[in-house]
Amino acid sequence: MRSRQRLSCMGFVRRNSGYIFMFCVLFLFMQVGFHSGRKHRPKVERPVLVPNAPENWIPSTLPFTDDRKSVIDEHPIPRLMEEAEAKYRNKLGSQSKTLKAAVAEYKKRYGRPPPKGFDEWWSFAQKYEVKMVDEYDGLMSDLKPFWDLPGEEIRRRAAQVGELPSIDLVRIRNGVADVINVKSFKDSEVSARARGFRSMMGKFLSKLPDMDFPVNALAEGRVLVPWEHRTYPNLTKQDSSQGVESMLGGPFRADWGDDGNVWEAWRRTCSPSTSARRLFSSLRTPFIAQNKNHFGTKAVSPGSAFSFVETTSSNTDYCQMPHAHYQQGHFFSDWRSIPALYPVFSPARAKGFLDIRIPSHYYYGSTQRYTYGWDSINLELKDVDPMEVAWEDKIDKIFWRGATTGGGSRPPGFAPQYQRHRFLRMASDHSNTTRVVTFADPPSSTTKWVAAEVPVGELNGEIMDVAFVKAVSASAYPGGLEALRRDHRFGDSVPLGRHWAYKYLVDLDGMSYSGRFLAFLASDSVPIKSTVYDEFFTDWIQPWVHFIPLSTSYKEIYNIHAYFSGAPKAALQAINSTVANLPADQRISIEGDKRLRRIARAGKRWKQTIGRTLDLEAYVYRLCLEWARLWADDRDSMNFTA
């Protein structure tokens, strides 16, 4: 037996001797070349770009220099500001100056004549010096799906959706508007949004025809129509005459309970070819990737946190990146969405929803919690808030206070990933985990920018002042109130005016949009805004001119502060800079502070000229004219004719 095995083996070797020989020669040459290269290749020192850099540390965006620091010659923020300013100037300067020009611009943009009453709206806009008279693309986009429905169908659907919980009707009859709550709903602000919307019509209500506006009583978006039902003709029944239950496939429950959630409804708005519609990827856990990218682990290069968004994050493509939905609380709302095309007027609109945007009642009314300059003792609105602080006296820190809102609990267990919780944990982290910060060295330089790896605990202690002030629905957080307080910083409540003492005001989504944004703009501080929502003013305002946009990962916020305010002391110490020993007022970036103040002034000016209550009324007036035409059976009769 052994003899036969040896013969077989020898035969195999003879048959394959050529291949074996070639392999041996190739292996020999590889070894010789390897050792020869090691022997004769000149030794190259690996540049030490940041202290304690790991062996596999490779910069992705910053070139090497002889002084063994990573340096760039141009910071991207000035370019972003200049491009944004030019874009905004062009937009503002191109607004129509006459009714004839406005009509022509309307026809050019939307392919039809303006609605009946457009001339009276124009007179209203001119009387109250409304600046943005052409920028209504967002409004027209909101209304576009309803052009496929006849007026009779729209009127019927408006009445039907008004019967659902948390929907109010603003009903206009004979020049008088009433708020009707068909279905009782327990909420601390029952009908507040509807009443606010009605108030915005006060100056022109007598000019409006009879019609109804179903107004969302909640902050969250409501209408999510599956992709297959979003085109006309489609699988959705166009005739709602059999009632709302026939449209929704059965009785409507106010909350999800255990038979669904917003994300499952939302992902059905995506095309069947997208990742979100493939069950596995839509359910894939994001936590490993999320922790790697966003929760304080070591950046792989100076550029990993050195990119800045040009606008807010409302365009995040959750259809193609379904795992990202875990980081936004609006996908976990307790309130059931409406799966058919019904007209619902809401204060904000996230991507995928079909709500129709209206101005928030928080922006229109005057309250102690949401209004800059409101004197709650004398009940009057002042041009300058009594707690306003001169720019030179503002604290050079990033400030935020708020409640632990941000999402519901359907499904439960995901609260730690909601937008506010993520930001609080990042900004109050006192560990030795490092962040790469890029800054001017010396502070007066506008052409030399270096990167240093800095313990996040030192960064946060130096530039952050953020805290929760109220625990809402603490039982929804894994571990309850005890775990919520252990994982996040909590502080005392502060009045709105306390914010004005700080240069940087972070603005984060709550259950929906942030109701404090316009107050922040008015304050002569600089809002740093991160959001997934569009609001009525989205077409009117310009990121990097009136506020600083922030990605939903928040990771660039340290580099934002380093550009405008100069290097944190901890960053200067990390590169052994002698500037670190100078007083704080001598470490500040003069150029950066000038640019920051420019944004603060532009935001305040925007609020005074384009974000007024009069501008909100002009928006609502235009919306009412458009809705009146859609409401009619003969829409051609509701066109404006000169």
The sign one gets for the Cα dihedral 300, 303, 308, 313 is negative
Q: What pLDDT does residue 445 have? A: 75
CA–CA separation, 402 and 289 (whole Å): 27
d(CA 255, CA 332): 11
Compute the average pLDDT of residues 169-196: 85
pLDDT at position 234 is 63
pLDDT (tens digit per residue) in 495-508: 999 999 999 999 99
The yes-or-no verdict on residue 28 having pLDDT over 70 is no
Band of residue 72 on the pLDDT scale cut at 50, 70, 90: low
Q: Which two tokens stand for residue 558?
A: 């340290």
Q: Model confidence at 279, in pLDDT bands (50, 70, 90)? A: low
Q: How large is the average pLDDT for residues 485-494?
A: 95
Tell me the two tokens of residue 130: 């409304």
Task: Indicate if the alpha-carbon torsion angle 214, 249, 630, 122 is positive or negative.
Answer: positive
User: pLDDT digit string (tens) for 195-207?
Assistant: 999 999 999 999 9
- pTM of the predicted structure, to 2 decimals: 0.86
Is pLDDT at 56 greater than 50 in this prediction?
A: no
Once rounded to an integer, what is the mean pLDDT over residues 112-133?
98
Q: Which two tokens stand for residue 268?
A: 């059905």
What tens digit of pLDDT does each residue of 350-366 get?
A: 999 999 999 999 999 99
pLDDT digits (tens, 9 = 90+) for 268-277: 999 999 999 9
Asked whether residue 414 carries a pLDDT value surpassing 50, the answer given is yes
| Pairwise CA distance, residues 153 & 158, whole Å | 9
What stretches of 492-554 adopt beta strand conformation (E)? 502-508, 526-530, 533-534, 548-549
* 606/7: higher pLDDT: 606
Report the distance separating Cα 605 and Cα 593, nearest Å.
18
pLDDT at position 50 is: 32
Q: Which residue do the tokens 């966003």 mark?
A: 294
pLDDT (mean) for 530-538: 96
Report helix, strand or coil for 85. Answer: helix
Residue 439 near residue 374, CB atoms below 8 Å: no
Compute the distance between CA of residue 547 and CA of residue 106 in angstroms, rounded to an integer: 29
In this prediction, residue 232 carries a pLDDT of 58
For the cut 80, the answer to whether the pLDDT of residue 599 exceeds it is: yes
Residue pair 535/509 in contact (Cβ under 8 Å)? The answer is: no
Closest by CA position to 559, among listed 414, 426, 395, 449: 449
- pLDDT given for residue 605 in this prediction: 98
Report the SS3 class of residue 176: strand
Is 517 or 302 the better-scoring residue by pLDDT? 517
Name the one residue in this structure whose structure tokens are 């929907």. Answer: 167
- Confidence at residue 448, expressed as pLDDT on a 0 to 100 scale: 79
Strand partners, 435: 454
Please tell me the predicted confidence (pLDDT) of residue 42.
Answer: 35
In three-state secondary structure terms, 608 is: helix
Task: Give the model's pLDDT for residue 578.
Answer: 85
Q: Look at residue 313 and tell me whether its pLDDT is greater than 80.
A: no
Alpha carbon 571 to chain centroid, angstroms: 29
Instruction: Please tell me the least confidently modeled range out of 123-137, 288-302, 420-434.
Output: 288-302
Using one digit for the tens of pLDDT, what is the confidence trace for 138-162? 999 999 999 999 999 999 999 999 9
Check pLDDT > 50 for residue 616.
yes
Please give the pLDDT value at position 446. Answer: 73
**Residue from 237, 231, 209, 243 nearest 630 by CA:** 209
pLDDT at position 202, please?
Answer: 97
Amino acid 122: pLDDT = 98
Sign of the torsion angle spanned by Cα atoms 531, 532, 537, 541: positive
> Does the pLDDT at position 289 exceed 60?
no
Is 142 strand, coil or helix?
helix
Q: For the chain, give every domain's residue range.
A: 2-40
Residue 422 has pLDDT above 60, yes or no: yes
Mean pLDDT, to the nearest integer, of 217-242? 83
Give the model's pLDDT for residue 187: 55
Buried b (16+ CB within 10 A) or exposed e, 463-498: bbbbbbeebebbebbeeeeeebbeebbeeeeeebbe
Instruction: With a cut of 80, say whether residue 135 has pLDDT above it.
Output: yes
Asked if 360 and 282 count as a contact pair (C-beta separation under 8 A), the reply is no
- 472: CB partners within 8 A, 6+ apart: 403, 404, 405
| Per-residue pLDDT at 319 | 95
pLDDT band at 570 (very low <50, low <70, confident <90, very high): very high
What contacts 137, CB < 8 A, 6 or more positions away?
109, 539
